[in-house]
Structure 1
Amino acid sequence: MTNAQDRTALIICGPTASGKTEIAELVAKKLDTAIISADSRQIYKHLNIGTAKPLDSTIQHHMIDIIEPDERFNAMQFVQLAINWMDKIAQSGKIPIIVGGTGLYIRALTQGIFPGEFKDDNVRKELKLKKKQGENLYTMLKDVDPIAAGKINPKNYVRIERALEVYIVSGKPISYWWEYQTKPPSDWNFKKFAIQMDKKTLYKRIEDRTEKMLQQGWIEEVRDLLGKGISPDCPGLTSIGYGQIVRYIRGEIDYEQMFNDIVRDTKRYAKRQITWFRKEPDVHWVEVGKSSPEQIADKIINLFFE
C-alpha cells in the first residue's frame, strides 16, 4: 500500500445473493489480501449451507465461525474484532476488505453506533414470549440496567421491552446510550462499494440459490443441529431459512411451502438491505449489468485507487 492508502479499508456491501463474496474474493486475490466478513449470520459455527459460507475459498476470511448458535453477538463486538483484524492486515502491508450485507455492522464500523439503530424483530419476539410465559421483564431490566429501570414505569411494557432490546442487541444498557452517542470508533478511512442489479435478476438469483442450498443438504444441516440439542429458538437458528426448515422437519408445513417461505423472506430481506445501503453516505453503487464478476472486481479496484 502507498502511504495514502495505509489507513483506508475497502468495503463491498449490498443485498444477499448479489454476488458480493465472489466479487470480493476476486478483488482480494488481485490485491493479495484477506477478507473480513460483515455478516451477522456467518459468525455462527455449524450454520454453513444456509448462511452461504465461503468454506472452500482459497482466500482467507476472518469473522466467520466465531461463536456457537446459542450465543449472542452485537455490533460493538463486531467493531472491536473487525478493527483488530484491519490493523493486523494493515501491519502486513495489505488493504483490508470488509464484505457483507449486515448494514448495522458496517455503519457501526464506519460511523459509530447510535441507540435508535438497535432493533431486532427476533429479540422482541423472545421478550414477548418471556412475558407470556410469566417472566417479569421489569426485574430483568433492573438486573441489567438499574438506572433505566428507575426512570421507567414498571407497568410501561413498551419502554421496558425497548430498553431490554437495546441492551441485548448493543451489549450496553440503554442508559449508557442516553448519555453517550459514539463517534467513528477508529482512525480508519473507508471506501464503500455496493453491488447493484435489477430486481428481476436479483430475485431469480435468490430463488436459484435457495434451491441449490436445499440440494446441498440444508435440511440435513438443520436436522443435525437439532440432533445435537441446539434449540430452534436460539439466536443462530433465527436466521432466514432455518426456522422454516424446522417447521418442515416438525411436519407443520410441506416442502413447497417451506421453499416458498424461505424465498419470500429472503427477498424481503434483500429489499430491506437495499433500502438501508441507499441511505448510507458515500456509497458507490456498482451496476452489475452484463459485466462479469472479474470486470466488476477490476472496476472496484480502479475506483478504490482513484
Structure 2
Amino acid sequence: MNKFIGTGVAMVTPFDTNREVDFSGLKNLINHLIEGGVEYLVSLGTTGESATLNDDEKKAVWEFTAETVAGRVPLVAGIGGNDTREIVSKVQQFNVSGYDAILSVSPYYNKPIQEGMYQHYRAIAEAASLPIILYNVPGRTGSNLAPETTLRLAHDFKNIIAVKEASGNFDQFNQILKDKPEDFLFISGDDGVTLPLIAMGAAGIISVIGNAVPRIFSNMVRLCLEGKFKEAQKLHYQLLPLASLLFCEGNPAGVKAALKQLGICEDALRLPLVNVSEKTFERIGQELHNLK
C-alpha cells in the first residue's frame, strides 16, 4: 500500500512524427520522471491515449516500460473499459511482470446504474492477480461512481486497494474519506486540488502536470504529506498557471507541448486529438521558463 502514497504520474505515450509509438521518447520520459523523484508511474491511463492504441501496441508499451523502469519505482497498468467480459479477459492475460497494480477506469458510454458498476468491478477484482485501483472520472465517462459504490467495493474486496477520484465533487470526497477502510487509499485525480485533498486525508495524486515538472510537483506533494502546508502552498500557487495552460486545450495535448519544449519527446497526438494552438504553446513555454 505504501507504494502508492505520494506522486504517481499518468504518463503520456510519446509518438513520432508519423504517429507511431516513440520508444526512445518513452525512455526519455521514464528517466525524466524517476530522476524527478516521483513515487510511481502509470502506463496507458487516459493521458496515455490508450483509446487510440491497439492491443499489440499496448503490450509493447507495457513491456518496454517495465524493462526500462527495471524495478526503480512501482508501476501501474491502465486496463479499463465498458465491456466487462473483455476487460476481465485482458486482466487475466496481462503480463504482470514488473507491475504492482491495475488502474481501471469506470465504464463509459453505457451509463450503467450503480449495481452495474459494482458488478463490473467485482468481476475484475475476482479475475485479477494484481491489486485494483478504481478510477472515477465522470467528466470523461458520462457516469459517476457514487461514493456508496466505492465504499461498498472497498469493504467487499481486499484487492481493491484505492480509488483515483476525479469527480471534482467535494461532498463525494468527504463521504469516501470519512467512511473508507483505514487501509484503503484515496488518490486525487486532479492536479489542482491535490493540496486540499491531502489535508482531508488523501494519500497523494496520479498527476498529469507531473509529466512536465516532476520534481517541483512531487516536492509539493511530499510537503503536504508531511503536514508542511504553508511551504506547500508556495509551490501549489507557482504551479497553477502552468496547470491551467496544460488543460485549456485538452489533455494530453498541453502536457505533450510542454514535453516537446523540454526536449523529452515530440508533441504528436493521434486523432481525434490535435495539438494546442501556437499561442498556448508559447505560453506553456513561458511558464516552464518561469518555474526554472
The alignment's TM-score, normalised by the length of structure 2, stands at 0.25
The alignment's TM-score, normalised by the length of structure 1, stands at 0.24
Q: Which has the higher contact order (CA 8 A, sep 6+)?
A: 1
